[in-house]
């Protein structure tokens, strides 16, 4: 046995002997009736401190659980913040346009023996339909051979041109012909001639309309863009009498 180990053993034995001496001393004091009351008070205080320590340990455990939940919540907030920053830095050049539904006003109840009004109410106009913009998921679903080098923004630019053309065309069609000037009246007549049984009650445009209102040249590239819009179920082609009609779905 080395010198260091012998010293450690000696200190351990001396420590145990000291504890035994203290216990014997306390045992002798405990036989004194006057000291027993003090020991009982000390025991009660120790019991109270033990209960208090148990409560502290319970509170510490609850606080640790709360801290864990707050750390998880902080991670979620950080993730949402990064997503928000990404969205703010990548806002698309277009946003879908919300067109509220036109609700008919309730007609007033006509009282008995009351004369009907002479002024006839104007017929409500049908809201002009607009094509919804293509979403990123829809754009990604287009086959690569069809999409080629066309970008997401280029395809939605075509949607804007279609909507502009439809809006300008049907603004004219919704007006009484007698209120139109010569140029608009000729356009009105041409629009009516382009209609057929299949396009009745639907919104559509033709090549001449796109050139008139959106300055679009209907070439091979533009027809490919329309083909992608058909794939995304935004329009369909109605052919007849040597004319191709692009009808909004």
Q: How many distinct structural domains can be found in the chain? A: 2
User: How confident is the model over 209-221, as pLDDT tens digits?
Assistant: 999 999 998 899 9
Domain residue limits at 219 = 136-248
User: How confident is the model over 66-75, as pLDDT tens digits?
Assistant: 999 999 999 9
User: How confident is the model over 177-216, as pLDDT tens digits?
Assistant: 899 999 999 999 999 999 988 888 899 999 999 999 999 9
Name the phi and psi angles at 104, rounded to 5: -75, 135
Question: What pLDDT does 45 receive?
Answer: 76
Q: How many CB atoms lie within 10 A of CB 171?
A: 13
Co-location of 225 and 145 in the same domain: yes
User: How confident is the model over 26-36, as pLDDT tens digits?
Assistant: 766 666 676 67
Co-location of 223 and 161 in the same domain: yes
Co-location of 151 and 230 in the same domain: yes
CB 203 within 8 A of CB 248: yes
| CATH number, domain with residue 219 | 1.10.10.1890
pLDDT of 122 higher than 70: no
The mean pLDDT of 2-31, rounded to a whole number, is 74
Does any domain span residue 145? yes
Name the phi and psi angles at 235, rounded to 5: -155, 170
The mean pLDDT of 156-167, rounded to a whole number, is 94
Last residue in a domain, options 64, 89, 114 = 89
């Amino acid at each position: 046995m080395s010198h260091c180990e012998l010293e450690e053993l000696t200190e351990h034995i001396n420590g145990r002997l000291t504890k035994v001496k203290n216990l014997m001393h306390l045992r002798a004091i405990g036989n004194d009736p006057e000291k027993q009351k003090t020991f009982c008070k000390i025991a009660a205080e120790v019991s109270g401190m033990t209960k208090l320590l148990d409560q502290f340990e319970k509170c510490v455990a609850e606080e640790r659980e709360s801290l864990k939940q707050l750390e998880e919540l902080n991670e979620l907030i950080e993730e949402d913040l990064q997503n928000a920053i990404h969205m703010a830095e990548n806002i698309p050049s277009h946003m879908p346009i919300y067109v509220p539904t036109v609700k008919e006003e309730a007609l007033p109840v006509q009282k008995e023996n009351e004369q009907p009004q002479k002024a006839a109410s104007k017929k409500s106009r049908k809201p002009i339909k607009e094509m919804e913009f293509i979403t990123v998921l829809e754009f990604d679903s287009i086959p690569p051979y069809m999409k080629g080098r066309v970008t997401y923004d280029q395809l939605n630019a075509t949607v804007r041109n279609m909507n502009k053309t439809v809006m300008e065309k049907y603004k004219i069609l919704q007006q009484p012909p007698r209120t139109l000037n010569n140029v608009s009246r000729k356009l009105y007549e041409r629009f009516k001639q382009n209609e057929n049984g299949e396009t009745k009650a639907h919104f559509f445009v033709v090549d001449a309309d796109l050139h008139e209102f959106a300055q679009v040249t209907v070439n091979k590239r533009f027809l490919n863009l329309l083909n992608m819009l058909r794939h995304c179920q935004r329009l369909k082609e109605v052919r007849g009498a040597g004319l191709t009609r692009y009808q909004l779905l």
